[in-house]
Structure 1
């Protein structure tokens, strides 16, 4: 195989590896072959320590474990590489004298792995992470030369991008996992859906709600209401939220909807955008969030919370909660058999006590305080 073809295969493998850490070992084997040697190691270092991503067969599983548990702290060459200018190729003896290495704690590891000389360097990956590559030759091999330095210089930008991609994927995965775990802790049902209503994620409360198939249900992974007309109304709100999610400054609810249920009070569904630049959402699609309340489940708890926070009367707390459920002032007046003027008067008191200027601000405030939703 020509050197150009070998390099092309190596670059292809590099850009595949960020998707699966198990592939980094194959990458190190290919890099070692590219340098016509037996040894290569890749690691990522941060304030939390060192992670040996991949290494060639001269680093046995037991040696790799020893390095991860102990020797990484005393790896003089790796440490010095992070202190010198990053993204620069070095020979090992340019930054650490051989006599220093021979006295270091890591020398036993290097002898066991037959790592007498090295070419490589440290790469800035963003955040507090640094990638380190070392390609090694043994005690009886020819020394690295200018050709090897040029090869490493060709490899560096590709390796840096691949390792940076891996770091970005891992940060995103951690944030997504934390988001999903937080949603699962909520007693209220939360669904993330695309423009067509396809369910991308549902927390535990939402899974249980959909399982009951009363009001909302999942049909081939799409959220639907029992009534086609209600489904269409919900999809219109979802569409509005998806459009709003493309605008970084907009993260407020676009509307609410009451979903009729058999033999029970309606579900209230609040529809809000998820901004496209929200890194906790692992999708390039336009996404909407549905916050679904079953009023019988926590009306009393919510009203107690609102009374404690804002000094509402019981009637005022019930009014604020009903508005957050998507009811109109007319709906509330009819439910309690009072005049619309009476409800409007109560609303003025609620706005004053909550220090909000309009109904939409009040609804957002109630949701923040009682569901954890942060518009």
Structure 2
């Protein structure tokens, strides 16, 4: 029985990651059922930057925890002592509460006496997830329940890598709309490729086609085109070691594993200085991504297939002028200065190139900091870099010229212009 519930939980992780037919609260409910827990906690910031418990609907206990008791939580204090590097080494490492904090110390703590006792936090099982920072996952039982045991640890150890992969997908796909239909996938700045365990391509989105067609890229396939792909078109990396590792990750993900990440090096004939190195994240495939004609078939994982998410790792990218105008209310002149500064150009060089005074550019920089809410140029560069992830090459924003028009391809389809 637990095996079927485990598979359902894995399905929910990836469905929640894509916001396709399930929410993170649905996953939290499944985890609480699977582990006979009263609470599930995974605190992350939402799109507005406000921290919240991803796995449960907000309640009074979450409000109390966020406002006061997070600072008293001995488990979270222990998690803060673990570095990101240590989290990587401990990936999949699940611990019971008494293995983190001695049980006698926890029961006598101010946290448990004032808050934990009343909020069903007597027993804990948890693990650490690494998604740019260390995030603790916790499942809690109240004092009337039995403690978590070794079987619970084995079960959560199987789920933890999938949860980490799902959160990585959530982070990479965050700028998309709430539903990842085929059209939305084509708007992604991330290449999405679905392959079977033999590395045959089942689906590619528009960005993936651009990456696969790049003569410098170390990832390619025959006949790349957007949408479902038929025939024996194989995905492969040009470097043998990269290809072997990619095959291993796809094989693991297609058999129900969580996959993993890797770098894909540029082709040997790449131009000197060309940053064509790709990052790839391999994870289980979702059924609705396999074909545009099967978008309503549910959100279960396709056994025997995997999804490869890929993008340039080192190649610099600046957001389109039109996007910065819409995001921050900049004038065109201010947006053009913002793009120039994001490329590492000094104010003096911007002034020289634009044939304006240095005082004018400095005044525009002060306006840019105010409109973007940046506290300084370094923070401003971070904001602009994040904005560059919100569009893909060939998107409407990227094609905008000095006015709001854009050119179409000879066939009349504007989506795939680079």
| TM-score range for the pair, normalised by the shorter chain length | 0.3 to 0.5
**TM-score of the two chains, using structure 1 as the length reference:** 0.46
Higher helix share: 1
TM-score under structure 2 length normalisation: 0.41
